[in-house]
Amino acid sequence: MSNNLTSSSQPARPSVAWIGLGIMGSPMSENLIKAGYDVTGFTLEQDKLDRLAAAGGTAAKSIAEAVKGADVVVTMVPASPQVEAIAYGPDGILENAKPGALLIDMSSITPQTSVDLAKAAKDKGIRVLDAPVSGGEAGAIEAVLSIMVGGEQADFDEAKPLFDALGKTIVLCGPHGSGQTVKAANQLIVAVNIQACAEAVVFLEKSGVNLDAALDVLNGGLAGSTVLTRKKDNFKNRDFKPGFRIDLHHKDMGIVTDAARNVGAALPVGAVVAQLVASLRAQGDGGLDHSALLRSVERLSGGQVA
């Protein structure tokens, strides 16, 4: 089989089908177009298809139409049920993609779903990488995502130029499902970090300290983090427009706590934060950015939440 994705003096760009054009999928697919890839996309919302077409891509009317003849199929959907819905069945990816195609699932799903998908795809002659990302909407727009990949080395090497158009830190973490396992750990760290930042913000404000000055100096020391850099303005301005929704982080905390239980790893702090995320969602804030964990801390501290 020819290696369509490896670089040469004049690399041949593979044709790409992109399924799922949400907060992350739209800017990511547009970055591939900017990098010279021919992208055909499908999603359920017409306005997202119109956006893709305006960026220079091609809008398809179905999954089958999008993936037909594509060298690479990229999926970016919310969770395991959606991945299974688009992958399987007579109208799904596996029945309509050509043999030899490379399916790159960039959704955040359970490791077992990725393992099962790779097995089912192999029977169809389709190769699979699980390649979830971290960096949020800003990272997607700026093409600086961290991409954690599970699968075969040869497939990873073949896909690397495509990944380079989407992110900056790109690592093969192991066999199928490994990318999802690392993403689960990422979501654990991010949630705990956001919660700690939110608690610090409420503590600082109630103490009468200038919040701008405090967060600036904290972010310059050992307490500094990408989370604080990215979410500092969200905290200060109470701007919780979603870059990554609480609903999705709730799903991810379920993945990591379940996976940890299966391997016998204790997550005492993670379990508490998972409950705080679930509580925020139950209070109707699931559609807000995960930095809205600040709202829970404010409620617990007796403050009024707008």
Is 282 strand, coil or helix?
helix
Nearest alpha carbon to residue 166 among 4, 35, 59, 299: 35
Query: Is 60:13 a contact under the CB 8 Å cutoff?
Result: no
Identify whether the C-beta of residue 118 lies closer than 8 Å to the C-beta of residue 176. yes
What is the chain's length?
306
206 is catalytic: no
How many CA within 13 A on the CB side of residue 80?
A: 15
| CB contact at 8 A, 304 and 226 | no
Q: And the tokens for 206? A: 């109630």
Q: Which one from 183, 231, 232, 251 is the annotated catalytic residue?
A: 183
Q: Which domains does the chain have, with CATH numbers?
A: 15-176 (3.40.50.720), 182-300 (1.10.1040.10)
pTM score of the predicted model: 0.90
CA 280 and chain centroid, separation: 21
- 10-residue mean pLDDT series, the chain (306 residues): 47 91 97 97 97 98 98 97 97 97 97 97 98 94 97 98 98 98 97 98 97 97 96 96 94 96 96 98 97 97 80
Query: What six digits make up the tokens of 87?
Result: 């992958």
Terminal-residue alpha carbon distance, the chain: 59
